[in-house]
Structure 1
Amino acid sequence: MKKERFFSDAVREPADKTWSNCLRVDDLILISGMTARGKDGETLVGDTAHEQSRVVFQKIKDLVEAAGGVMDDVVKMTIFVTHMSDNAQVWKAREEFFTGNFPACSLVQVAALAKPEILVEIEAIAIAGCSKD
């Protein structure tokens, strides 16, 4: 087995010795929890759960593709929201990024995320090539 870290110019990397945004082990692609922070790592993009979710799904897409997969290779997501009432907004954004069989998914309400204005955080697991016929 081989573990390799992948990067996307569209997603800010964390500080050294903290975590990896995207790792691939053989065909397994692991994406850390993504939020709607901009490329500078501070500015939040989007005021609603829908807007933030779209930013997050785009980051996941960029990282999955950097690791050699496609969005339909995502098999599991865990979505953290600060308000369960935002679930419809998250689902609406999700529909813009997936086709066919949607990933297995957990939606969890949490008391808080890294900053009070962050409404959504999503982590994903993909298996490169699994969506091909």
Structure 2
Amino acid sequence: MRESITLPGHPEKWPCFSDVVKAKGTLVFLAGQVGWDDHGVWAEGFEKQAELALQNMERALAAAGATIDDVVKVVIFVADARNGDADYRTGNNFNEIYSRFFKRNFPVRTRVQTGMLARDCLVEIDVIAVISDD
């Protein structure tokens, strides 16, 4: 179970993440999900890698008995910060792709630019989810 919490007096910056999430249950940790297919072939370009990494995230969550609605924290590692800085309203950027997967009651999110990703990797997504103890 997760609950997004709005901070008093805090303006909403982006419509695709929460500042605070309260969760109760069993923790599920995913290794960083990247934009390659089942054969280890990288998708071409940032947008395709981001979409495939998010699809791989959903598959990994399902393997643990979780769904995207159970995600409480997401860390996005990008090779080039400009891929995440674009205005989410214009499309063809990370926030627009991310919003196709996370639609409501958003998890907290952090984005980090790093030059230390695997060769040819443009984005990696690290996730923590919480599933019910029932």
TM-score w.r.t. length of structure 1: 0.71
Q: Distance in 2 between matches of 1:120 and 1:70?
A: 21
Equivalent position of 2:44 in the other structure: 46
Corresponding pairs, count: 102
Secondary structure, aligned partner of 1:96: helix
Structure 2: segments with no counterpart, 5+ residues: 1-24, 87-92
Aligned to 1:95: 99
Aligned to 1:64: 61
CA deviation after TM superposition for structure 1 residue 50, in Å: 1.7
Percent of paired sites with the same residue:
31
Given residue 42 of structure 2, which amino acid in structure 1 is its aligned partner?
L
1:106 matched residue in structure 2: 110
- Consecutive unaligned residues of structure 1, counting only runs of 5 or more, are 1-25
Q: Which residue of 2 aligns with 1:13?
A: none
Q: CA offsets per residue over residues 48-84 of structure 1, 9 Å max, x none?
A: x221111001111111112111101100011100111
CA distance in 2, matches of 1:65, 1:37: 18
| Aligned-partner Cα distance in 1 for 2:62–2:37 | 19
Cα pair 1:34 1:123 within 8 Å, conserved: yes
**Is 1:123 paired with 2:121?**
no
1:78-128 CA-partner distances (Å, limit 9, x unpaired): 11001111004111111011121211111000023111x211011100011
Tell me whether 1:77 sits opposite 2:74 in the alignment.
yes
- TM-score by length of structure 2 reads 0.70
1:46 shift after superposition: 2.8
RMSD: 1.7
Structure 1 residue 129, shift from structure 2 partner: 4.0
